[in-house]
């Protein structure tokens, strides 16, 4: 039987417990998830890509069904490169849905790759990488918002 692989793309600056929840729940649906950090030169990142890769790899060091990679191409091209059959996305609100639907429709049109969307758990909808970065800028505790395995790496920017 063919392995079902999903690509979970994002900037993950930083990876939050909301992202972690999507991966955990996604693993119930597929055999493998490739967490893919995309390069986006138009964005100004808080953490360099090497640090983000290190943080996420620390979280999944003992999970053989999760790989962490980076890419600098169209998401669908990278999905095909790593053998992903699906793109996994999470949405926190109705506002996120319109954007994700548009991207999913385009991805399906140009590549045939389906996207599946998991709704964020209600207790986590207020958590975003943007808000975590804001807390970090002001030296506030973010331990309730990021996976425990990456906390020590967040402070060693």
Catalytic residues: 19, 43, 92, 129
Residues counted in the chain: 157
Cβ neighbour number for residue 40 with a 10 Å cutoff: 11
Q: Which residues of 19-36 are buried (b: 16+ CB within 10 A; e: fewer)?
A: bbbbbeebbeebebbbbb
DSSP state of 54: H
Which residues are 37's β-sheet partners?
10, 70
Cβ neighbour number for residue 117 with a 10 Å cutoff: 15
Block residue for tokens 């986006």: 40
């Amino acid at each position: 039987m063919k392995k079902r692989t999903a690509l979970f793309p994002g900037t993950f600056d930083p990876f939050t417990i909301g992202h972690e929840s999507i991966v955990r729940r996604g693993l119930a649906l597929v055999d493998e998830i490739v967490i893919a950090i995309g390069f986006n030169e138009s964005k100004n990142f808080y953490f360099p890509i090497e640090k983000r890769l290190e943080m996420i790899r620390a979280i999944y060091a003992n999970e053989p069904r999760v790989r962490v990679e980076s890419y600098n191409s169209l998401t669908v091209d990278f999905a095909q490169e790593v053998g992903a059959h699906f793109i996994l996305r999470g949405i926190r609100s109705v506002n996120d849905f319109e954007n994700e639907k548009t991207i999913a429709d385009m991805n399906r049109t140009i590549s045939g790759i389906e996207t599946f969307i998991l709704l964020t758990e209600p207790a986590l909808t207020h958590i975003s990488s943007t808000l975590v970065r804001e807390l970090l800028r002001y030296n506030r505790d973010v331990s309730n918002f990021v996976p425990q395995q990456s906390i020590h790496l967040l402070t060693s920017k």
